[in-house]
Amino acid sequence: MNQKLKIATLLLLLPLFALAQTVKGTVTDGSTNLPVLGASVVVKGTSNGTSTDFDGNYTLNNVPENATIVISYLGYATQEIPYTGQETLNVALAEDTSQLDAIVLVGYGSTTKENVTAAQTTISDEEFNKGAIVSPGQLLAGKAAGVQVTAATGEPGGGPRIRVRAGSTLSANADPLYVVDGIPLDARNANLNSINPAEIESFTILKDASATAIYGNRASNGVILITTKKGKLNSDLKVGYNVQFAINKNTDQVDVLKADEFRSIVNEFGSPADIALLGDANTDWQNLIYQNGTQVIHNFTFQKGFETTALRANLGYTNQNGTLKSSGYERASINASVIQNLLDRDLKLTLTVQGAIEERRFADQGAIGSAIGFDPTQPVFDPNGPNGLFEYFQNGQIDGLAPRNPVGLLESLDAENDNNQIRTTLQVDYNIPGLDGLKFSGTAGIDYNEFDEFSRRTTGSAVFLASSNPFLGTSANGFRVNQLLNGRLDYKTDLENINSTLELTVGSSYQNFRRESDNFSRNNQGEDVIIAGFNQNRLISVFGRATFDLNDLLVLSGSISRDGTSRFSSENRWGTFGGASAGLKLTNLDFIQNSAIVSQLKLRGGYGVTGQQDIGQDFLFLQRATPGTDQVRVQIGNRFVTTIRPELVTNLKWEETSQWNVGLDYGFFDDRLTGSVDLYTRDTKDLLQFGPLPAGFLGNFSLQNVGSTRSRGIELAANLELVRSEDFNWDVGGNLTFNEIEITDLALGDNDAPVPQTDIGSGFNNFIQEWAVGSDPTAFNVYRQVYGPNGDPLDGVFVDRNGDNVINSQDRVRYKKGNPDAFFGFTSNMSYKSFDMNFTFRGSVGGYNYNGVRAARENADRITENPSPYLNNATSGILEDRFQSAAQPLLFSSIYIEKSDFLRLDNLSLGYTFNTKSIDIRASVTGTNLFTITDYSGLDPEIGNGVDLAIYPRSRGLIFGLNFDF
């Protein structure tokens, strides 16, 4: 090139150099002023960009005039800054909680929220229920569509029953699979109470089969991924202390006859011999067995983040005294995590440790039923009775058939379970050098639990004296261990020529479960007996997933899992499970993309097949002929060792569930209104159930695959930000779930004959529910009560269904069901400057309960129990019904099937935060189980299976809390 041409070219390029400049600066965290590593700095609308270094510094070249510079980083609000010739541009990024939710967990990995194609919900700690929470499951109640959380009991340390889409099994374990920091828990030892609820960061609930299929043969009931809190890199030292004190009180008692009412009924219906049994006291037995419960919770937290290291530790202590005297729960826990980045941040190690020492003190819950039924005219104390308490005698001996003094039942029992648990995981994430987008992730974990439990009666107590066993005590100790090793490769690449992204995952998992125990007791000859138990099973899985995001518009995802379990014979040990789903990001369509109304809109659909192999036995294919057992015992001295009986049922396999799901995620008005709608259909076949054995086997019954079910549901969820401002914020959320399930096949033996279920324990073959083709599994089987012209029930008169003039079991019919038609939750969160208030309502409609407390006691014959030398109390309904006969049809009368619809204010919390330069203090007061609106006459309408047989009542709580953050 000649000199003149060079000069001409330079003159032409000079204006471009003048317009394209270099910008330098630093990106920091707006709250901590610490540098942000890896923040993206880009000229908007171009591929010209860079990222910040370890010190948050960046240099961006070739920036034209009037350009816009975009600075972004995950977890922070994106900033767009007009370029007007600045040479230095320093930026402080502010946290954006909505962006923190952009990355969500899926099975064996994570993805962006907008690329989720399955039905799943994430509940973060900001959304959890408030109060003195002991069990992690309580945090979720009422928070997610399709997830039903029922407090099965008010007993201290008792966890709630959680069902995802109502479960899909009849006899097998219906709990979801819990995965804690990458460790799938042993379904037979899924002790969530060993996790301090204050240390849980989020729950991710995988509901449909396309989401859960990657977990293969144990995912039919849904999967709940639990993530605990961990430290953050480059963060200041933070020290926190939280204390809560709670007072709990039972809200109600079973409405039984008071002493004077009881005397009146006995005088009306009883014989002279019955009347002679009346005492002179006026005793409220329920008042004597209950107390005000107390609870205290302490949490001390430390966390600090360095450039490549993040530390966090929590010490927790909980002490709960139950409302039933002598019951209680105590837990000391430690949760710690270390995050370490190595090799220029290509290698990330995350170590988590959760340890807990638990002591659970058991009360004799037989005292609840005894307090309901014990004669209110009898005194508590008797100087001639055992341990100074009143008891019934016959021929100078304790009457073994008579009810026991409720106070004596509580005072004479010493029962405790001590549990020591440690759960440790090491997570390895490694970006493989030279292979852009390829990452290895592996998890090694162990969940180890030692237990020691005992139960013994006080010498000289009525229970001790009335028993043929002079020892009346048992104890057990042992351990359970859950070992995990898994690894996977994740690959992500951008297909620029078609503007798409491909993500691939392939991996394998090995898990070993082992349980050993020694159970000690004494037989009637006074000999010590030791029964040793050993169980072990293994699960092996190879899995893969592919996700294809086409033009940021259509997301296709598929997963497959090849699983093996030692629970089944070699013929049926391995199975293949899989799922596929698609999501259409309608928001990115041209005609919606710039809409001022629609901020997000995504249509989803998926199908998958999953399994269920957990019915509580480790050697399912080695079946003993007796129902409920697969083991025999061999005596070696005074020690009995459990062994397996070699009778093979080789065709036994897991249950299999297939599920369709269609959903819509939406957001309107800049996401002021967000939510989702899901519809699903689920079919489960090869149900594991006890049925007739094939010819040639000893006995009559064994475990086998029989029957099928179908369930359908609609899930609606919505959240509305009513107010969004600097000082005042208010959002409300709600969810509503419609669900129905029916048995489509039973095939026990050669027919689909109904199978009796739920023995109410009042005699031989007393089953109130039954499984039958075409009905809900919780359907009741009753005699239809006949009513008179004035609407009053007629004593002992029932519908003669077959017209043979005899009322017997042939006249019983299926009537109503325990499962509700729908359940719902409603939540409100409000804050104004330093004040905050939140509450949660829950409820259900369309379900029924069998009021077994009324059924067993609401008649005169039950009071007198002729010719027994004692009387039983009755529920107050006898004052209206005036039933005389206690014949079996009355026990199963439709009159005791009551609506269980309810609306409950689960919790209401008020708080105020005092902010100073060195410390933030939040004071709060929270009420739990504040009121319940229901027509159900029992203590609580919320019964897990629809059968109310006098549960440990759930209490109302008032909690005072103080939180100090330094």
Residues 6+ positions from 858 with CB-CB distance below 8 Å: 874, 875, 877, 878, 881, 883
Tokens of 666: 């939406």
Q: How far, in Å, CA of 467 to CA of 398, rounded?
A: 9
Domains and CATH numbers, the chain: 11-98 (2.60.40.1120)
Tokens of 12: 């032409």
Query: Nearest to residue 405, comparing CAs of 395, 416, 413?
Result: 413
Q: How far, in Å, CA of 150 to CA of 171, rounded?
A: 19
Using a cut of 0.95, tell me whether the model's pTM lies above it.
no
pLDDT in the model for residue 12 = 41
Taken in order 798, 804, 808, 814, the sign of the CA dihedral is negative
891 membership: H or E segment, kind and range: helix 888-891
Low-confidence stretches of the chain (pLDDT beneath 50): 1, 5, 7-18, 99-101, 623-631, 644-647, 693-700
pLDDT in the model for residue 10 = 45
For the chain, helix, strand, coil in percent to 5 are 15, 50, 35
Contact 678, 662 (CB under 8 A): yes
422 membership: H or E segment, kind and range: strand 413-431
Structure confidence by residue, pLDDT tens digits, 509-528: 999 999 999 888 876 666 67
First to last CA, the chain: 70
Tell how far CA 870 is from the center of its chain.
Answer: 44
The angle subtended at Cα 822 by Cα 821 and Cα 828, nearest 5°, is 165
- Tell me which residue has tokens 């109503």: 816
pLDDT in the model for residue 98 = 52
CA distances from 797 to 348, 784, 853 (A): 74, 9, 21
CA dihedral 264, 265, 269, 271 (to 10 degrees): -60
pLDDT in the model for residue 436 = 84
β pairing state of 200-206 and 120-124:
antiparallel
CA distances from 221 to 207, 360, 717 (A): 8, 28, 20
Contact 340, 309 (CB under 8 A): yes
Could you write out the DSSP letters of every residue in 215-260?
Answer: GTTB-TT-EEEEEE----TT---EEEEEEEEEEEEE-----B--HH
pLDDT in the model for residue 579 = 96
